[in-house]
Structure formats: C-alpha cells, structure tokens
Amino acid sequence: MSGQRAGGHPRRRLALLALLAASAFVTVVDATQGAGTGPPAAGEPAPSPVHLLTRYRVVGCRSQGDVAYLHGPHRREVAIGFDDGPWSDTAAFVRMLERNRARATFFMIGDQVNADYRTTLLRELRDGDVLGDHTFTHPNLTQTPDVYAQLERTIRVTRALTGYTPCVFRPPYGAYDESIIRTARSLGLATVLWNVDPSDYSLPGSAAIERRVLEQVQPGSIIISHDGGGPRGETLAAYPHIIRALRARGYRIVTILELLDFHPVYVRCVRLCDGIGVSRPELPHGAIIERAS
C-alpha cells in the first residue's frame, strides 16, 4: 500500500483552499455596530478548517433608504414579490420556484403567520427567498391611525415563528405617504412598491398574467403578484413561463434584497439550525455575519 503525506490528497487540499477563499467575501460585524461589506481587513486571520463545519442561519436583513422603491437600478435584473400570504397555495409557489431555480420575496400578512405555515416559511428561507412585511391585517395605511402597530406586530410574529426579522415592507394597495415611510424606516423597514402589475388578483387567466408581465417589464423592474388572498392557480401556472421568458431575454431573477443592494444577516447556529443552516462558503455575497452582543 502506498503512503500518503499528512496534508492529504492534492485535490482535497485544493478544494479546501477554494472554500476558504470563498469565505473571504462575507462581512463579519458586531451586533452593536453598523453593517459593512467587503473582504476582511488586512491582517485578519483566514478561517480555520473548523469554520467549514460551522453552520449559519439567516435571521433577517438590513435595508436602507427614506424613499418608496418602485424599481431597482437599471440593470438586467428583475425581482418578483408575492403578496397576501402565507396561504394555502404558498407551498405550491415555493415548489414552483425550486423547480425553476428562482427566488422571490414573500410579503406576508401578519395575522396569517401561524404555526401551520412554519415549515413552508422555513423552506423559503432555506431556498434563499425573502420574507417581507405586508402589515398585520392588510388595511389602507393612509386611513389607519396605528401604522406602527400594523408593521411591528407582523415583524414580531414573523420573528417568533421563524427567527427571521424582515427589513422590507410593502403597503397594501400601494397606499403610502411620507409619514408611513418614516414609520417603516424607524422599524428597520424599507418601503417597496412595484412598477410591473399584471393584476393577477382579478383572475384574468394565466396567459393574460404572462403577457402583462412581459409587456411591462424593463431592467430593474419589481413585479407584484399574489400567492394569497384567493385562488392563485392562474398565477402559479403563469410564472414558470414568465421566468423562462425573462431568462430568454437575458434577465436574472433576483430577490428584492439583491435588486436593491440590501444585505442578508446570518448568525452562527448555537443549537439547532431548523434545517436552514449553511456553511460559511455557502453564504451569499454581501452577507453579514452578526456576532451576539
């Protein structure tokens, strides 16, 4: 039997070095400090091999801006947002996205966020989807005196059920004003609207939904559709065709975080990762690893 040096097989050593290099593109910050991006500071030690066994779970995101975002930068990317879930059809939307290797942002009504949907919401997080705030009871916020409570209660129930704190918010009916934007910002939420609306809630048929999206889309678009609030089979049937057509036009399908250059936040799994833990090299570019204070 031939001998082998303590360093292991050359291919395995190269693979390990590649994983260590990939981990250098993740920012590490203290929980009490602001977010940052970029490689580690000069002189910071490279991760040891044990870090490759450490798992991290997503716990939220960091957004910015005191405006209502209708679209992202003018680049060949689009983001899809599904509203009014979680709902009986939401799990089917998650499976559809998985089959098509796409990610989306789910803007949720807090009053519907309950234990029945925990598995589905964790699956969304595992897949790289984003959870957003769509108020607690879906009111017109410009006619509601308790805007803060509508947003904060949804944040609270989402965090309690999934461990994730949203950083993006979509006002029901697109109704907002400057006061609502300021209130959302005080809770760490960016206000996100849309510039592509197929009016799928009116049940126009899957072909009409597809046609309307593709007629309106442009670089940097944010698309609104619905996974809840009623029967959504037409929307579900339309989106595989929409995703394929967008990619044929050269578009990348991204989350709203990616489109707007916001950052997901991860922490090291102390006990259980709820099935959504990833290794450090698997963290997305620009992710923040937050240390407990």
| Active-site option among 71, 138, 226, 263 | 226
Task: Give the integer Cα–Cα distance in Å for 103 and 41.
Answer: 32
Cβ atoms of 233 and 96 within 8 Å: the answer is: no
Peptide bond into 73 cis (omega under 30): no
Residues ≥6 apart with Cβ < 8 Å to 19: 52, 279, 281
Q: Which residue has the tokens 């910015």?
A: 64
**Cβ–Cβ contacts within 10 Å for residue 44, how many?**
10
Neighbours of 158 (CB within 10 A): 21
Where are the alpha helices (H) located in 24-146, listed in sequence order? 90-99, 118-127
Residue 138: active-site member: no
Which of 83, 84, 129, 133 is catalytic? The answer is: 83
Q: Beta strands 105-108 and 77-85: pairing type? A: parallel
223 touches 80 (CB < 8 A): yes
For residue 46, the tally of other CB atoms under 10 A from its CB is 11
| Contacts of 77 by beta carbon, 8 Å cutoff, 6+ apart | 219, 220, 251, 252, 253, 254, 258, 259
> How many CB atoms are closer than 10 A to CB 116?
10
Q: Is 261 a catalytic residue?
A: no
Q: List active site positions.
A: 83, 226
